[in-house]
Amino acid sequence: MRKTDSIRVITFDLDNTLWDVGQTIRRAETLLREWMQTNTPDALAVYASGAIEEIRADIVARHPNQRYDLSFLRTEVLRACMLESGLAESQAKRAAEAAFEVFFVGRNDVVFFDNALKVLEDLSQRYRLFALTNGNADIHRVGIGQYFEGAVSSADVGASKPDPAMFSAVLARAGVQAPEAVHVGDHLSDDILGANRAGMLSIWFNRDGAHDNNGDSQPSAEVQSLSALPDSIAGLS
């Protein structure tokens, strides 16, 4: 276990680290489709069809610099569905933005894992916290913004974890060196491997008790509950 005398910053993955993202997205998708059924049923038929993958691939191909911006991509997919259903350009744009907002409300209506809020409150009193996510959840709309000094997403960086650019970006935002920061996440490659290669400490949130067979992804520490995080971080100091 690698230790440091000066942990100053904790960076947190969000999805599947603080809440179950699968559950969250399913509920958001349900809200979106219900709204479309009521307001744009012809566009829903396109959205729910086999054509959606081709539509999305076309949008990514036309906007390669925004392929990591999940909010942009979803809004553009919705706009394309609106256009395909026969709406005029201005109508399609307004409808897509309204539809995305319905989805985004659901996207940020999360059910936190046990003790997540208590642990964030506790840690925020002793360390500087930053979110580091490949997703598009908004820490303020989720209701945890008061615990975080900032957030860095793949849309901000134009890359996604485990790309070193993500970790460099959050370290630069925090103004600290890699050994002064510990990253907490659930994904062995995106979170642990990425943090290790950036020179940061890493804590694997192994909620399901999985086995790690990849030496490159060996975390500095491992927890199966968020309530164990404060002691785990203290043990790295």
Distance from CA of residue 114 to its chain's centroid? 19
Q: How many CB atoms lie within 10 A of CB 28?
A: 20
pLDDT digits (tens, 9 = 90+) for 138-151: 999 999 999 999 99
**Phi-psi category of 129—alpha, beta or left, where left has phi over 0 and alpha has psi -120 to 50?**
beta
Angle at 169 between CA 174 and CA 14, to 5 degrees: 85
pLDDT digits (tens, 9 = 90+) for 164-198: 999 999 999 999 999 999 999 999 999 999 999 99
> Residue 74 above 60 pLDDT?
yes
Mean pLDDT value across residues 30-37: 98
- Percentage of the chain exceeding pLDDT 70: 96
- Give the chain's largest Cα–Cα span: 62
Q: Provide the H-helix boundaries in 40-129.
A: 41-47, 52-62, 70-84, 89-107, 116-124
Question: How many residues belong to the chain?
Answer: 237
CA distances from 215 to 120, 178, 189, 191, 193 (A): 29, 20, 11, 14, 9
Q: pTM for the full model?
A: 0.93
